[in-house]
Amino acid sequence: MKIRKSVAAAALAGAAVFSVAACSSSDDNASTSSAASAASSVAESTTASSEAESTAAAPAGLDAAAAQTTLRTAVNPDTSSDELDKVVDTTNPATKTALQAYAKGASAAGYGPEVYKVKSVAADGADKATATVAVTSPHAPNSPVDIQLSFVKVDDVWKLSGDAVTQLSGMMRGGH
């Protein structure tokens, strides 16, 4: 009996919140306008940050073309395990498994290697770099989205970092 009363109270509270939210005033438009203005400022800041990164020097041995080859090899579901070892930092064994699962799932969803285009690479210290990558969704081919993926230099070879694999895998879990 106590459970029924709790459920009824929760439902009543939810209905009250819904009713209050449905009633709006002109003040709400001001806050919506402020939120839109803030979002615009963040977008401009991100664009400026991306432009600053694209003007930074790429590290020796990792220009956009080399990063492109590495990334497309890494996200190709047909890439062998031995080939992944050559292009991905697999010091954590879970990284390879996560990337293989991502590549298969992403490819099945229409995100094959060809949707990733490295626009620029910027050094981030001696053994790290950040690549700005345009990802073109098969659902919105005219609106690519830029993401930042990190690369690391392991034994004098530039590889996609484990953090980048985690980032990509997270996007797949998030349903993006």
- Segment 51-69, tens digit of pLDDT: 444 456 889 999 999 999 9
Contact 151, 129 (CB under 8 A): yes
Query: What's the total number of domains in the chain?
Result: 2
- Same domain for 149 and 77: yes
Give the residue numbers spanning the domain of 79. Answer: 56-173
CA separation (Å) from 3 to 6, 7, 10, 13, 155?
A: 5, 6, 11, 15, 62
- Same domain for 158 and 96: yes
Domain CATH for 82: 3.10.450
Global confidence as pTM: 0.67
- Same domain for 76 and 7: no
- Same domain for 60 and 35: no
- Same domain for 87 and 35: no
- Same domain for 134 and 95: yes
What's the confidence (pLDDT) of residue 172? Answer: 76
- Start-to-end CA distance of the chain, whole Å, equals 43
What's the confidence (pLDDT) of residue 141? Answer: 87
- Same domain for 118 and 84: yes
Range from 36-40, 71-75, 90-94, 140-144 carrying the lowest mean pLDDT? 36-40
More confident residue, 164 or 24: 164
Strand partners for 154? 157
pLDDT score of 11 more than 70: no
Pairing of strands 157-160, 128-137: unpaired
- Same domain for 63 and 49: no
More confident residue, 67 or 47: 67
- Same domain for 99 and 129: yes
pLDDT score of 30 more than 60: no
Tell me how long the chain is.
Answer: 176
What's the confidence (pLDDT) of residue 55? Answer: 55
On the CB side of 58, CA atoms within 13 Å amount to 17
The rounded mean pLDDT for the chain is: 76
- Same domain for 91 and 42: no
CB atoms within 10 A of CB 161: 21
**Of 53, 78, 93, which marks where a domain is finished?**
53
The residues, any chain, with a CB within 8 Å of residue 115's CB and separated by 6 or more, are 135, 136, 137, 138
